[in-house]
Each structure stands twice: as C-alpha cells, then as structure tokens.
Amino acid sequence: MIMKSKIKNEFLQKWEKYFGKAELPFVYFYTPDPGTAIMADKNKDWSCIICELARVRNGESLAYDESGLHYGGSSIVYRTHLESLTDNPKAFLGMFDCSARPCVPKDILSFSIPMKKLLTMLGNIDESFLITETWQTVRKRIN
C-alpha cells in the first residue's frame, strides 16, 4: 500500500515536529511492478535484508521478489505482513538478532509497523507522549 500524498505530507510534518532532524524511516510494501527499484541480488549463497538496508538508508530503492522472505533478517518484513492481516495489528521493536547486528550502527533498533497501525498512531500522535517535556529532552539527544 503506497501512502497517499495527504497521508505522506501529514506524516512528514509530524515527523519534523516531533523528531526534528532524525533520519526518516523507510517504507516497504508489495507491488507487482517495482519500477526503477534495483532488484536485490538473490544469486548470493546467503543474503541478509538487514545488511542490504544500508543501501536503502543511503537513498537506494531495493526490490525483492517472494524469495526475499527467505533471506536472513526477513522476519522484520514477514512478521509485520502477518500482523497487517489481523484486526488489531501490533508493531515490533527489533534488531536484536545477533547475526544482523554487525550490519547496523550500534545505536539503531528497528520499529516495524503495519500501515493500518501506523495510520492509527498518526491520528493519535498529537495526544501522545511526544507532546511532553520529557520527549523534548529525548528529541534533543536524537538530533
């Protein structure tokens, strides 16, 4: 599901308001047409989605076919996809897999959210802990 421009703009405004200059998150979604995205190299003996995310964080768009769910670190995508099919989807804090840790900076964790849950959170953001003085202290640290 691709974010509609209204939702995208609202998200970007809220991100800047509450997270300042912190790195933007990335989005993954299913599409039968990856457009100009680079197909991930599946000819390797072993591949890790998490390790390849460094390319995404540097601005590249990557595409995976269905075999991508069998790559190392794919649970970040697969579990979130399964949750998106439920009535009350949950979000996941991750990056605790020892095999993936060498691929990410030491102070990075993942937070994977099904779109349905993200839209609910976006609707509640102005009434969340992000409006507190305590969050302002955290925000200064992440900027």
**Tens digits of per-residue pLDDT, 46-104?**
667 788 888 888 888 888 776 665 567 677 888 888 999 999 999 999 888 888 888 88
Backbone phi, then psi, for 93, in 5-degree steps?
-90, 130
28 domain residue, yes or no: yes
Domain containing residue 45: 23-114
Nearest to 72 by CA among 93, 44, 91: 44
Q: Which two tokens stand for residue 109?
A: 């964790």
- Give the count of domains, the chain: 1
With respect to residue 73, please indicate whether it lies within any of the assigned structural domains.
yes
Mean pLDDT of 33-41: 80
In a domain, 66, yes or no: yes
* Domain contains 33: yes
Tell me if 95 is assigned to some domain: yes
The whole-number pLDDT of residue 68 equals 61
pLDDT at 70: 58
Determine, yes or no, domain membership for 83: yes
Encoded amino acid at 136, one letter: Q
Tell me what pLDDT residue 124 has. 96
Pick the residue with more confidence: 94 or 29?
94
User: Are the beta carbons of 119 and 6 closer than 8 angstroms?
Assistant: no
Query: Is 73 in contact with 50 (CB distance < 8 Å)?
Result: yes
